[in-house]
């Protein structure tokens, strides 16, 4: 009797062991050994990013009040004379630095929890790991969005922007309430959505862990576990569905971000390229302008007549500027800014690709060890490009040897009505400028690129 029971129980024990092993493999999936080492490397890179971001933020404070006022500000109020409500212009460069700092901190938390899960199977029972992954992308979105809006405002409010049919491009801008709501509202909406999906992921992971523990208890006790197994299978399906929808939501947000940032940065770089061409003498600053230009303007927007003497004086200064040190610095900074923006665009495209891949292949990530291994490190791999971007930005900031104020640095006095046309800004009456008017536009052109990288680099 004992022999029969023993011989009959052995296959049953073996079957239970197989079932428990498969359940354990499902709940604590294996990955290739290289993943742990790669996570350590990515964690170190994110620490470097945090260090670079802190250096960029601290440097202006160490260089005195002029550098601090120039670089450390979140918003500038800009008025148009036709509208009493101000436009709130974000600091694009500072937004990128702060967003990379917070995003790196969130990624570090996720990397730590992922590494622990690979070293200790019990750590996979944590219900918070995917929450950190879900919300870690939102600071990047916010930073890129503000940076794109900063570039957009520079183009729309630039005195170098041409007019169409004698009507200033500023007159066609949307109402400040609409622009300000879009600038702030979209990142807030994306952040709240990410937090919502993060909370859903906590609940889905918790249900999966509870179902797993219930089915293991039933199998180990030798009781019927069909109901618990069905519950566990359903919990896995819900987890996969939640992850897929969260990835799809992020893919849509990333697509909007890539489109908006690419467009605004493109027109911004075109504007700066025009500035470079003007400063190097390759392009006429006042192409298409004539002495009767002001005839289309009315009331307070009317400027002094644009005489041939004024045009000639301005062109003389531009020719003198060509080949100067300022012109060469302008070209060098433009090339660096072009590389900077290109790398940031690649980071955004990479985020979009990751979101689409997770949306399509999340089922394979659950079932296939190769896909699972790749997924763990790919989701946090944008740190490599981000570190290069911040390295360039920190090098640019640290290489500045002069603390002299920007020649066209926004101050409290710039929170006044923006002139409605290029001539009014150039002829200088509405703004407190003491330099000869033929130098004003040149100073502004140089300041647009030479002095902007820390606060306005996109």
Query: What is the mean pLDDT of the segment spanning 428-457?
Result: 37
Query: Is residue 119, in this structure, part of any structural domain at all?
Result: yes
**Bigger pLDDT: 108 or 292?**
108
Query: What is the mean pLDDT of the segment spanning 264-292?
Result: 70
Confidence of residue 82 (pLDDT cuts 50, 70, 90): confident
Do 77 and 439 contact (CB within 8 A), yes or no? Answer: no
What whole-number distance in Å separates Cα of residue 439 and Cα of residue 110? 53
Q: Is residue 408 pLDDT above 90, yes or no?
A: no
Give the lowest-confidence range in 51-55, 222-226, 274-278, 309-313. 309-313
**Other Cβ atoms within 10 Å of 174 Cβ, number:** 12
Query: Is residue 43, in this structure, part of any structural domain at all?
Result: yes
Do 235 and 208 contact (CB within 8 A), yes or no? Answer: yes
Q: What is the pLDDT of residue 11?
A: 55
Do 341 and 366 contact (CB within 8 A), yes or no? Answer: no
| Listed residue (452, 262, 450) closest to 347, CA to CA | 262
The predicted-structure confidence for 287-308, as pLDDT tens digits, reads as follows 544 444 343 333 344 444 444 4
Q: What is the pLDDT of residue 8?
A: 46
Q: Is residue 321 pLDDT above 50, yes or no?
A: yes
Percentage of residues of the chain with pLDDT beyond 90:
21
Q: What is the pLDDT of residue 295?
A: 37
Query: Is residue 20, in this structure, part of any structural domain at all?
Result: no
Terminal C-alpha separation, the chain: 81
Q: Is residue 144 pLDDT above 50, yes or no?
A: yes
Query: Is residue 276, in this structure, part of any structural domain at all?
Result: yes
Give the lowest-confidence range in 16-25, 352-361, 376-385. 16-25
**Bigger pLDDT: 90 or 381?**
90
In this structure, the dihedral spanned by the alpha carbons of residues 427, 430, 435 and 438, taken in order and rounded to 10 degrees, is: -10
Q: What is the pLDDT of residue 191?
A: 95
How many domains is the chain built from? 1
Query: Is residue 407, in this structure, part of any structural domain at all?
Result: no
Report the mean per-residue pLDDT for the chain.
74
Structural domain boundaries enclosing 239: 32-400+421-456
Query: What is the mean pLDDT of the segment spanning 69-91?
Result: 86
Query: Is residue 211, in this structure, part of any structural domain at all?
Result: yes
Give the lowest-confidence range in 13-27, 33-47, 128-142. 13-27
Q: Is residue 257 pLDDT above 80, yes or no?
A: yes
The predicted-structure confidence for 151-174, as pLDDT tens digits, reads as follows 898 888 776 554 434 444 555 678
Per the rule left: phi > 0, alpha: psi between -120 and 50, beta: everything else, 171 is alpha
Q: What is the pLDDT of residue 7?
A: 42
Strand locations in 279-325 (E): none
Query: Is residue 107, in this structure, part of any structural domain at all?
Result: yes
DSSP letter string, 360-402: HHHHHHHH-HHHHHHHHHHTTTTHHHHHHHHHHHHHHHHT---
The predicted-structure confidence for 362-376, as pLDDT tens digits, reads as follows 888 877 888 888 888
Q: What is the pLDDT of residue 195?
A: 95
What whole-number distance in Å separates Cα of residue 73 and Cα of residue 65? 12
Confidence of residue 24 (pLDDT cuts 50, 70, 90): confident
Q: Is residue 282 pLDDT above 50, yes or no?
A: yes
SS3 state at 224: coil
Q: Is residue 125 pLDDT above 70, yes or no?
A: no
Q: Where do we find the tokens 């069909």?
A: 226
Query: Is residue 166, in this structure, part of any structural domain at all?
Result: yes
Q: What is the pLDDT of residue 175?
A: 87
The predicted-structure confidence for 191-229, as pLDDT tens digits, reads as follows 999 999 999 999 998 898 888 888 888 888 878 888 888
């Amino acid at each position: 009797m004992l022999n029969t029971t023993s011989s009959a129980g052995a296959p049953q024990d073996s079957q239970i062991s197989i079932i428990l092993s498969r359940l354990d493999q499902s709940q604590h999936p294996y990955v290739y050994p290289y993943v742990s080492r790669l996570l350590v490397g990515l964690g170190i890179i994110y620490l470097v990013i945090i260090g670079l971001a802190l250096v960029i933020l601290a440097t202006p404070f160490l260089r005195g009040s002029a550098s601090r006022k120039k670089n450390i500000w979140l918003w500038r109020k800009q008025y148009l004379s036709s509208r009493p409500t101000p436009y709130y212009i974000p600091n694009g460069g500072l937004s990128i630095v702060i967003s990379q700092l917070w995003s790196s901190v969130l990624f570090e938390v996720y990397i730590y929890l992922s590494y622990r899960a690979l070293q200790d199977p019990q750590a996979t029972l944590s219900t918070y790991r995917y929450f950190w992954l879900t919300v870690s992308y939102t600071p990047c979105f916010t930073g890129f969005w503000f940076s794109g809006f900063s570039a957009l405002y520079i183009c729309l409010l630039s005195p170098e922007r041409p007019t169409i049919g004698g009507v200033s491009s500023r007159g066609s801008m949307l109402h400040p309430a609409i622009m300000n709501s879009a600038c702030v509202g979209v990142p807030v909406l994306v952040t709240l959505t990410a937090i919502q999906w993060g909370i859903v992921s906590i609940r889905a992971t918790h249900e999966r862990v509870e179902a797993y523990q219930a089915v293991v208890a039933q199998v180990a006790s030798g009781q019927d576990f069909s109901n618990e197994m069905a519950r566990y299978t359903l919990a896995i399906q819900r987890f996969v569905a939640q992850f897929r929808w969260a990835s799809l939501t992020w893919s849509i947000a990333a697509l909007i971000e890539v489109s908006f940032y690419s467009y605004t940065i493109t027109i911004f770089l075109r504007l700066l390229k025009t500035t470079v061409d003007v400063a190097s003498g390759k392009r006429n600053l006042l192409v298409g302008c004539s002495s009767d230009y002001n005839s289309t303007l009315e009331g307070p927007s009317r400027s002094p007549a644009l005489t041939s003497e004024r045009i000639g004086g301005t062109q003389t200064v531009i020719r003198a500027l060509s080949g100067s040190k300022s012109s060469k610095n302008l070209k060098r900074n433009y090339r660096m800014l072009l590389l900077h923006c290109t790398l940031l665009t690649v980071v955004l495209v990479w985020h979009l690709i990751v979101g689409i891949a997770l949306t399509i292949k999340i089922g394979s990530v659950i079932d296939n060890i190769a896909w699972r291994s790749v997924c763990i490190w790919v989701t946090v791999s944008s740190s490599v490009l981000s570190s290069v971007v911040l390295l360039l930005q920190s090098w640019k900031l640290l290489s500045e040897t002069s603390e002299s104020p920007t020649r066209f640095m926004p101050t409290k006095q710039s929170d006044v009505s923006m002139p409605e046309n290029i001539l009014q800004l150039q002829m200088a009456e509405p703004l407190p400028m003491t330099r000869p008017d033929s130098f004003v536009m040149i100073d502004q052109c140089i300041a647009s690129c030479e002095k902007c990288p820390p606060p306005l680099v996109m």
